[in-house]
Structure 1
Amino acid sequence: MAWRSNLSRGVKELRFLFCQSSPASAATRDFVQKNYGEIKSLNPALPILVRDCSGVQPQLWARYDKGVERCVKLDGLTEAQINKKLEELAKSGKAI
C-alpha cells in the first residue's frame, strides 16, 4: 500500500460522508475508524474530513487541483472494496 504515502501528491482533500447508525454505512464507519490514523500520519498536510449525517448514503469525495472533485458511492461495499476505491481516486489524481 505504498500509494497511501503518496496520496497527498494528487489529492488535495478527502471527504467521507456516512450515516452514524445505518447498516449501509457500517463498512464505511469501520474503514474510517481503522484507517484514518495511518492515512493521516502518512499525509499530515492532507485535509481528511469525516462527516456523519443521519440518513445520508456513504460516499467518498476527492478534491484535486483546480477544484475538480470526484465522488464514489460506498453503499454496500466492504472495507477492502472501499480501500480499492480510495486507491483508484488517488491514482486518478495523478492524471489530472
Structure 2
Amino acid sequence: MSLNLSKSIKELRFFFPQTGSSSLKSFLLKSYTPLKAANPTTPLLIRECSGVEPTVVIRLEKGVEVKKNVASLSESEISTLLTSA
C-alpha cells in the first residue's frame, strides 16, 4: 500500500474520541509508520479528544484547510482520501 501524499499537503491533523473504537484510530495504528516513512517532512498531528467525531484536517498550500469527517469511512477509504487529496 503506497501512502505517498500530494506535495500540496503541508500538514495532516487527526482527531478521534478517547473512548470507543474508530476506523481512524485503527488506520493510524496500522499505517502511521509507513505514512511517515513515505512523507518524512509532512507534519502528522494526532489528538485524542473527548466528545469529538473522527476527523481529518488537511492543511494545503497558502493555509487552506479542508476538514473531513471520517466517522463513516473504513480504513481503506481513509487511505484513499489521504492519497487522493
State the TM-score, normalized to the length of structure 2: 0.89
**Which has more strand, going by share of residues?**
2
Q: SS where residue 53 of structure 2 aligns? A: coil
Q: Percent identity?
A: 39
Deviation at 1:87, TM superposition (A): 2.1
Alpha-carbon distance between aligned partners in 2 of 1:32 and 1:66, rounded to the nearest angstrom = 26
**Which has more helix, going by share of residues?**
1
Is the Cα contact below 8 Å between 1:8 and 1:43 reproduced in 2? Answer: no
Compute the RMSD of aligned alpha carbons: 1.4
Aligned to 2:60: 64
Q: How many residues align?
A: 85
Q: Report whether the alignment pairs 1:27 with 2:23.
A: yes
Give structure 1 stretches of 5+ with no counterpart. Answer: 90-96
Q: Report whether the alignment pairs 1:83 with 2:83.
A: no
Alpha-carbon distance between aligned partners in 2 of 1:27 and 1:9, rounded to the nearest angstrom = 25
Alpha-carbon distance between aligned partners in 2 of 1:83 and 1:8, rounded to the nearest angstrom = 13
Is the Cα contact below 8 Å between 1:72 and 1:85 reproduced in 2? Answer: no
Give structure 2 stretches of 5+ with no counterpart. Answer: none
